[in-house]
Structure 1
Amino acid sequence: MWRRVPRPEDGRVTEIIAGLSMSPPELLALLGGVALVVARWLPPAARPPVTIAAGAVLVASAIVLSVVGIHWQMLPVLAGAAVALPFALLPLRRRRTGRPAWRARWWLALPGSVACVGLMAATPVAAWAFPVPVFPEPSGPFAVGTSVVQWTDPRRPETFTADPHDRRTVVVQLWYPAQKSPAGTQRAQYLGRTEEEARTVSKALAREVGLPGFLVDGVPRARTHSVFDAPVAGGGERFPVVLFSPGSGGVRTQNTAWAEELAGHGYVVAALDHPYDSAAVVLADGRTIQTKIASTGDRDEDDKLAVDWTAVRAADLRFVLSRLDHLDRGELTGPLTGRLDTGRVAVTGHSMGGAAALQAARQDPRFDAVIDLDGYPHGPTTPALHQPTLALTQAVTPATDPRYIPRLTEALKLSTATSYRLTIPGAGHLTFMDGPLYLPPVPSIVGSLGRTESPHVVAATTLAFLETTLRHKPGDLAGVLSTYGDLSVHQPDNSR
């Protein structure tokens, strides 16, 4: 499981083809539009049947798409076809009336044809750049189930509202080892329990990064490999627990590919929505809580705010661990009662969630291991961490905050357990979440590892760490991690 499998050289070609993410009606509309333009340049005998067939395919596909929904990527095809259609049909009409067929001069038709085909070519490019995400198949022996719970902490007031009676509520999604579902079972929606929730969250995430919502309208159409409320895997085994906190403005589902891979290998992953911090949190009663946190533009002030927000997240993580412990003991009802090994728990997070994981581990000895996915350590670096820690970081560039690596190194060096910092070449900040599966493959946005390699690297390194720290499986962890990048190992003082 720890061996890195070499990828074939044509893997990126496969990614491009698989990432086009166009439905059959969309592909037929594209082919019909291109054929309509190309028909002008065919021999005279072939022009009428090709034009008629292409027009029929185009019109039929457009009708189907108008019923099921036209996505923005198809607009260039429809625009190009609308321009080409009159020029393609006019000669046929003149033939039927007995008048001489009219055709534009080649030197006039050529630029128009090139422009129309070029316009239509924008559709597959856009579909590739902003696809419906395709999640990698979990490689573990278990099928994956998922469920969503909502818990309120009666002892903790909600600091983001002025209501003195408001208590802190978190929404948690669980991914767990499950029994195999029958063929044809509906897979879980990405980003939400329903399509409406998924669209709400998708639009909120787009706003969070300054993108128009329509650019990512394919994301809420995605299906994962999990099954909602699937029966827990048989055998009575108790599964180690991994808690996860998303990045600033992030949501509980942002690392679904990673969570499914861990669950397939026998872990229960509990990922949190942090209300008023996550981009959008849909509560059980249907209310949607939008984010209230925002950058001020002043670095010192933002650092102070980040410390406060990190503290809230760390408290959320500790509270959820307590709830999971109650669930395991049967004090809360649920199918995972008696199946959670809350004596083997890792706390993890991405970006600000990574900082929250570090803080929660300092404050709560129930956490046995820590994974920080490219998170700047906001808040104090003391007391020392007593848990083994894995910090994965993006490739360091001149644009990287110069305080990041020194501060992270300081936190790891203070640890009384062995800690690892792995810098992954080609990784960007969003490499450590699902972003590479549906955002444009621009290195400055999602890194340069690609849609296949990004989730593979994150899952392989974290699984190797969890197998060593929670399951205590023998192996050369440092040797495995070093195959993925630049590894620094920090040994505690008492073992040097």
Structure 2
Amino acid sequence: MWQRVPCAEDGRVTEIITGWYLSPLELLVLLGAAAIVVARWLAPAARARVTVVAGTVLVLSVIVLSVAGLRWQMLPVLAGSVCALPSAVSALLRRRSGRPVWRARWWLALPGSLACLGLIVTGPVAAWAFPVPVFPTPSGDFAVGTRVVQWTDPHRPETATADPQDRRTVVVQLWYPARRSPADVQRARYLGRTEHEARTVSDALARYAGLPGFLVDGVPRARTHAVFNAPVADKGGRFPVVLFSPGLGGVRTQNTAWAEELASHGYVVAALDHPYDSAAVVLADGRTIRTRITSTGDDEDDERAVETTRIRAADLSFGLTQLGRVDRGEMAGPLTGRLDTGRVAVTGHSLGGAAALQAARQDRRFAAVVDLDGYPRDPDPDSFHQPVLGLTQAITRETDPRYIPRLTKVLKLSTGTSYRLTIPGAAHLTFMDAPLYLPPVPSMVGSLGRTEGPRLVAAATLAFLDSTLRHRQGDLAGVLSAYGDLSVHHPENG
């Protein structure tokens, strides 16, 4: 697909050609490098012209890219051109000096040319595998605004530190229906309010996943569709609210595409960073709090996950309390009077999904739950009244055999109708933004492609929220079954 997508970087505007996941300048570098290699096989007159033109294009493009920010994917392209350059320049100098152009026998030159082309091809392959993410355009009627707030709970101590005066603090990012902004307004950066925050979070996420940070250096370059602090939409009345908790080590922005899609359809999404759990949380004073939790790989014996789930559930309830204060005008903000805190869903991915389930059981203010592939963690679950949508990855031999029975048990505890939807081709990371920027390896991000998985997850979520929060009439089970394998748990069935 040759869709050209604007991507602002430090005030400069470039474009990513999504079929190649390269900017036009990077594409010129690629073509210039390839032309230098191919020039070796042309007739002397054409060889000289191609070398001059290709070399000029290559050098100028590299200079501009060096100022804008050279991605590591271009390094093998440059290496291939540097290896081919001596042969091309030598022939050019010999021709200009009047000396005959010496040419090695083809069977001696061919391996070198192929090696150079191999290096050059590595560039676009790497750009395809680890691209600058291009976010799908939200499909709703509203533009999307975003803002970040920081709240401290004076009644809860921070258990991760030894300071008895330390109180629990969360950082929350809001996505909300907004007025249309001019086309040239800069869009919000992915992963952070500033380049420094985005790179700090990106490096922390890579480290948490065991990846070298440079592999995902394109992620903090991305821009989303939201506009920071955009005016709230004039129409729409009071908006239903969706609170979101990320996965273990995850961050508030990990489901940005999903959040923007919901906001474009008239919801306010409030996603939380959980300090000492999220990979990195940058506070308002500039301090960075890094995670102190790592996954042991043993779901049953990891008691820390149970405790972390409990803390997250309390964070979600606190977030809802603060949003109520925002709506009532007790805290200044553009969303005063626009939040319908009587229509609130609690949601989460992975461990965040477990926290959402636990928060709903403990806090009756939540009206619905969406669990994005989260293994329930409450050691002693009890009945609760909210309907639940549990979205799960495709079930394989590698899936924890306890997962589906445990999730089903929890869904049956709800006194409302609940749904378990298994999406064929989905993996655990399908339920976040990861398919947009990680290699499309099915075991990692599923087999649905870069955008189809996130689209299906958002569409199923919207159908459930429209039915449970907005009470829209229709066959919800019929709509959800179009997205995968559906099980419906009616309260009368126990």
Where on the TM-score scale, by shorter chain, does this alignment land: which range?
over 0.9
Contact in 1 for aligned 2:73/2:126 (Cα 8 Å): yes
- Asked whether 1:379 is paired with 2:395, we answer no
Q: Contact conserved, 1:372 with 1:390, CA < 8 A, in 2?
A: yes
- 2:339 maps to amino acid: L
Alignment of 1:188-203 (within 5 A): 188-203=188-203
2: CA distance between counterparts of 1:353 and 1:93?
A: 64
CA contact (8 A) 1:353 1:375 kept: yes
Match of 1:462 in 2: 461
Q: What TM-score, normalized to structure 2?
A: 0.95
Match of 1:6 in 2: none
- Separation in structure 1 between the aligned mates of residue 320 and residue 234 of structure 2, nearest angstrom: 23
2:33 is matched with 33
Structure 1 residue 357 corresponds to structure 2 residue 383: no
Equivalent residue of 1:41, what SS?
Answer: coil
* Residues 85-484 of structure 1: pairs in structure 2 closer than 5 A: 85-235=85-235, 237-296=237-296, 300-302=300-302, 304-380=303-379, 382-484=381-483
The 1:183–1:299 alpha-carbon spacing in structure 2 relative to 1, beyond 3 Å, is closer
Alignment partners' CA distance in 2, 1:44 and 1:220: 45
Give the Cα separation in 2 of the matches to 1:350 and 1:32.
44
Alignment CA distance shift 1:396-1:11 (3 Å): farther
CA distance in 2 between partners of 1:166 and 1:122 (Å): 50
Match for 1:428: what amino acid? A
Q: Which amino acid aligns with 2:481?
A: S
Measured after TM superposition, the shift of residue 69 of structure 1 is 2.3
Counterpart-to-counterpart distance in 1, 2:469 and 2:326: 20
Superposed CA deviations along residues 351-398 of structure 1, whole A, max 9, x for unmatched, are: 000000000000001000000000000123521121110000000111
> C-alpha displacement at 1:97, in angstroms?
2.0
* C-alpha deviation, 1:236, in angstroms: 6.4
Give the superposition deviation at 1:24: 2.3
Instruction: Give the aligned residue type for 2:150.
Output: Q
Query: Using the alignment, how far apart are the partners of 1:20 and 1:247 within structure 2?
Result: 30
Contact 1:240/1:345 (CA < 8 Å) preserved in 2? yes
* 2:350/2:374 contact within 8 Å kept: yes
Partners of 1:181 and 1:305 in 2: how far apart? 44
SS at the partner of 1:119? Answer: helix
Structure 1 CA distance for aligned equivalents of residues 298 and 461 of structure 2: 34
State the distance in 2 between where 1:184 and 1:66 align.
24
Find the aligned partners of 2:249 and 2:255 in 1 and give their Cα distance: 13
Q: For 1:288 and 1:314, how far apart are their aligned partners in 2?
A: 23
Contact persistence 1:424–1:486 (CA under 8 A): yes
What CA distance in whole angstroms lies between the structure 2 residues aligned with 1:77 and 1:437? 23
Cross-structure match for 1:73: 73
Would you say the 8 A contact 1:381–1:410 is kept in 2? no
What percentage of residue pairs aligned between the two structures are identical?
76
Matches of 1:17 and 1:409 in 2, distance apart?
44
SS at match of 1:260: helix
Q: Report the number of matched residues.
A: 483
Of residues 289-298 and 331-340 in structure 1, the stretch that sits farther from structure 2 once superposed is: 289-298
Is residue 173–residue 272 contact of structure 1 (8 Å, CA) maintained in 2? yes
In 1, the alpha carbon distance for the partners of 2:271 and 2:220 equals: 18
d(CA) in 1 for partners of 2:381, 2:309: 15
Which amino acid counterpart does residue 287 of structure 1 have in structure 2? R
SS in 1 for 2:102: coil
1:204-248 CA deviation, whole Å, 9 max, x = no partner? Answer: 000010000000101001011101111111136000000000000
Deviation of residue 113 (structure 1)?
1.0
State whether residues 77 and 119 of structure 1, in contact with CA within 8 Å, keep that contact through their aligned partners in structure 2: yes
CA distance in 1, matches of 2:17, 2:387: 41
Q: What is the CA deviation profile of residues 21-60 of structure 1, one whole-angstrom value per residue up to 9, with x for unaligned ones?
A: 3222211111011001111222333111111111111122
Whole-angstrom distance in 2 between the partners of 1:300 and 1:468 = 34
Code of the residue aligned with 1:307 in structure 2: it is V
In structure 1, C-alpha distance between the alignment counterparts of 2:213 and 2:467, rounded to whole Å: 42
- Distance, in Å, in 2 between the alignment partners of 1:100 and 1:178 is 69
Listed one character per residue, the Cα deviations across residues 164-215 of structure 1 (whole Å, up to 9, x for unaligned) are: 0000000000000011112211111110011110000000000010000000
Q: Distance in 2 between matches of 1:293 and 1:115?
A: 44
Deviation at 1:135, TM superposition (A): 0.5
The DSSP-based 3-state class of the residue aligned with 2:341 is strand
**1:307 touches 1:379 (CA, 8 Å); kept in 2?**
yes
SS in 2 for 1:46: helix
Distance apart, 1:65 and its partner CA: 2.3
- Does structure 1 retain, via aligned residues, the 8 Å contact 2:309–2:377? yes
The residue number in structure 1 matching 2:57 is 57
CA separation of 1:128 and 1:297: change in aligned 2, threshold 3 A: closer
> Is the contact made by 1:20 and 1:131 (CA closer than 8 Å) also made in structure 2?
no
Q: Distance in 1 between matches of 2:69 and 2:140?
A: 36
* Deviations, residues 98-118 of structure 1 (Å, cap 9, x unaligned): 222111111111111111111
Contact 2:236–2:266 (CA under 8 A) maintained in structure 1: no
Per the alignment, residue 18 of structure 2 pairs with: 18
- State the AA in 1 paired with 2:480: L
What's the RMSD between the two structures over aligned residues? 1.7
Cα displacement (A) at 1:17: 6.2
1:309 and 1:109 map into 2 onto residues whose CA distance is: 61
Contact 1:381/1:411, CA 8 A, preserved across alignment: no
CA distance in 1, matches of 2:66, 2:88: 23
Contact 2:21 2:127 in 1 (8 A): yes
